[in-house]
Every structure is written in C-alpha cells, then in structure tokens.
C-alpha cells in the first residue's frame, strides 16, 4: 500500500510560498488532487509538486518564499562524512605491500 502525504490548505500555502487563496483557487479549478476529511481539504503532496512546477511564477515562489529557500541550509558541509570526489585521490601502492588496498592521500583530505 502506498503512503500518500496529504496537507491542509494552510500547510500547502506555507510550504509552497503562496497564499491560501491561491491553493483554494487551484482546488476550485481542479488542478490539485484532494479529499475532504471532517469538512477540511487534504491535498495530495504529489499533486502539489506537479502543480507548482507547471507555472514559472509558482516555481519561483516555491524557491524564494516556500520550501526552496531552506535547501542550501540542508546541504551536507562536513567533508568527513560526505567528501566530494575531487577531494579524494586514490593511489594504489605500486609495491603491492598492502595487497592491492587503496590508500587515501591525507594531504588532499585536510
């Protein structure tokens, strides 16, 4: 069974950087997939993502005012656990003393 993420109108508006009125208008225009639970709209997150990508203006709002504004903060900056390929230089010991094991050049990791 597939787990479907559903959001309220206010949650969707906050995440996507638009007003609640914009979300309600999209519901009215049948641009979003939703269900009604206890008189409240519950909108499918997947349909929200698709809807936000269809318009350049909405996409830009997502990046500047919505969830997208926090993406740079989520990037892993600790190179110890997430090294970039350029920082790791693999060298094979030509003498074969290590049985073909890979040695990392520590100068490039600091």
The mean pLDDT value for 75-92 works out to: 56
Task: Map 52-92 to HEC letters.
Answer: HHHCHHHHHHHHHCCHHHHHHHHCCCCCCCCCCHHHCCEEE
With H, G, I as helix, E, B as strand and everything else as coil, classify residue 6: strand
Q: For residue 80, is pLDDT > 80? A: no
Q: For residue 12, is pLDDT > 80? A: yes
Domain residue ranges in the chain:
6-73, 76-110
Quick one: pLDDT at residue 3? 83
pTM of the model: 0.58
Q: Hey, CA dihedral for 30, 32, 37, 39, is it positive or negative?
A: negative
């Amino acid at each position: 069974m597939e787990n479907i993420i559903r959001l309220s109108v206010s949650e969707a508006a906050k995440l996507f950087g638009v007003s609640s009125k914009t979300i309600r208008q999209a519901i009215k225009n049948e641009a979003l997939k939703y269900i009604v639970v206890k008189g409240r709209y519950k909108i499918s997150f997947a349909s929200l993502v698709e809807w936000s990508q269809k318009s350049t203006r909405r996409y830009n709002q997502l990046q500047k005012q919505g969830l997208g504004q926090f993406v740079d903060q989520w990037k892993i900056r600790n190179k110890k656990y997430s090294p970039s390929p350029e920082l790791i230089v693999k060298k094979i010991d030509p003498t074969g003393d290590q049985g073909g094991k890979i040695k990392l050049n520590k100068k490039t990791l600091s």
